[in-house]
């Protein structure tokens, strides 16, 4: 099926929260990595989310151009063209975008969607993240409210972050401090400000000890109960309709128990980047080690064209990354949950 429209994306999110599973959201940087995600989701019979970061978009546009919005548009256009060959729905999302990158990244993508809508075409992306976690909460929400007003007019979903995900990913660094844990007071203010826009949809990346990067299980001290406390506070203050749709960032090194607990408390989307990168690169490294004398022209020899043809090892990388996507779907209880032909 094509990329999910607004109604289907909303239905996906509603169903995930009701049935206590979550969608893996994989960062991609190329056509090959996007194809890997589609393959893994299709083989899992699961819908999912493909997302592009500022750095991923810049990379996709080419090392000479480095235009983050152009690269994101290129990937999104590819997914729109090939998605209907897969028996699942996929949503397109942009990842961490701090305030100083809204104008060169998110706003041009929203403008592209507005142009498409005016021409009777589908939205380019389904949702975008504004990461104002490095700002005071009031300033964070002031910007978020203005974005949400524009998004609502264009059937776009906004993702925001309250609290800070520690570590570093794609040039976005989070401080390691008490801000790693979002408070109920923070989320009450989020609900007060954003729920004032009746009917607008948003996702909240509340933090509960999350840290970007590579960690062994047990190294990251997660407290999923933070999400429970935030849900209880907002439902008590504003009623059941205010219950949050949470996003889980910085999940590398999380135990399966922690992941499931977070999903039980309302996580509907879990970002997965580091583990996907490793799966992709590990397959390429294996090919290079196995075919050392074929990929290099050693001692005056000519090598083996079949070994150094990029298609030979990128195809293996696609399959390996697709397998990691399938693991993510399974970890998030999503196998067989696609809305396609439901």
Is 95 catalytic? The answer is yes
Torsion angle of alpha carbons 212, 224, 12, 110, nearest 10°? Answer: -40
| Helix residue ranges per DSSP H, 45-136 | 54-60, 68-82, 107-118
CA distance 311 to 22: 33
Whether 265 contacts 16, CB under 8 Å:
no
Neighbours of 122 (CB within 10 A): 15
User: What's the angle, vertex CA 55, arms to CA 53 and CA 58, rounded to 5?
Assistant: 110
10 is written with which tokens? 């909303």
Instruction: Give φ, ψ of 193 to 5 degrees.
Output: -80, -50
User: What's the angle, vertex CA 183, arms to CA 199 and CA 245, rounded to 5?
Assistant: 30
**Given 47, 95, 229, 275, the catalytic residue:** 95
- Give the number of residues written for the chain: 342
| Helix residue ranges per DSSP H, 102-255 | 107-118, 137-153, 184-194, 225-238
Residue that the structure tokens 């429209």 belong to: 5
CA distance 85 to 42: 10
Any idea which residues carry the catalytic annotation? Answer: 95
């Amino acid at each position: 099926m094509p990329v999910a429209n607004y109604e289907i994306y909303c239905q996906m999110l509603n169903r995930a929260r009701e049935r206590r599973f979550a969608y893996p959201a994989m960062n991609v940087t190329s056509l090959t990595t996007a194809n890997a995600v589609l393959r893994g989701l299709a083989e899992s019979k699961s819908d999912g989310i493909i997302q592009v970061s500022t750095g991923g978009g810049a990379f996709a546009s080419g090392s000479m151009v480095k235009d983050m919005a152009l690269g994101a548009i290129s990937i999104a256009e590819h997914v729109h063209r090939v998605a209907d060959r897969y028996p699942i729905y996929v949503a397109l999302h942009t990842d961490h975008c701090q305030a100083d990158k809204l104008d060169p990244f998110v706003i041009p993508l929203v403008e592209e969607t507005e142009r498409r809508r005016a021409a009777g075409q589908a939205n380019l992306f389904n949702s975008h993240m504004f990461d104002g976690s490095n700002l005071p909460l009031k300033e964070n929400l002031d910007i978020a409210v203005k974005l949400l007003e524009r998004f609502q007019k264009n059937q776009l979903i906004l993702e925001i972050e309250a609290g800070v995900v520690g570590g570093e990913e794609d040039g976005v660094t989070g401080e390691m401090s008490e801000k790693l844990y979002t408070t109920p007071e923070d989320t009450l203010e989020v609900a007060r400000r954003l729920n004032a826009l009746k009917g607008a949809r948003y996702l909240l990346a509340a933090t509960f000890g999350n840290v970007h990067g590579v960690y062994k299980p047990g190294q990251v001290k997660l407290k999923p109960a933070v999400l429970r406390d935030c849900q209880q506070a907002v439902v008590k203050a504003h009623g059941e309709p205010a219950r949050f749709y949470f996003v889980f960032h910085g999940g590398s090194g999380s135990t399966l128990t922690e992941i499931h607990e977070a999903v039980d408390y309302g996580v509907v989307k879990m970002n997965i980047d580091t583990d996907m990168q490793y799966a992709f690169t590990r397959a390429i490294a294996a090919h290079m080690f196995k075919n050392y004398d074929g990929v290099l022209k050693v001692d005056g020899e000519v090598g083996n064209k079949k070994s150094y043809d990029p298609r030979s090892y990128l195809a293996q990388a696609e399959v390996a990354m697709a397998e990691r996507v399938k693991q993510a779907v399974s970890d998030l209880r999503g196998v067989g949950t696609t809305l396609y032909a439901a």
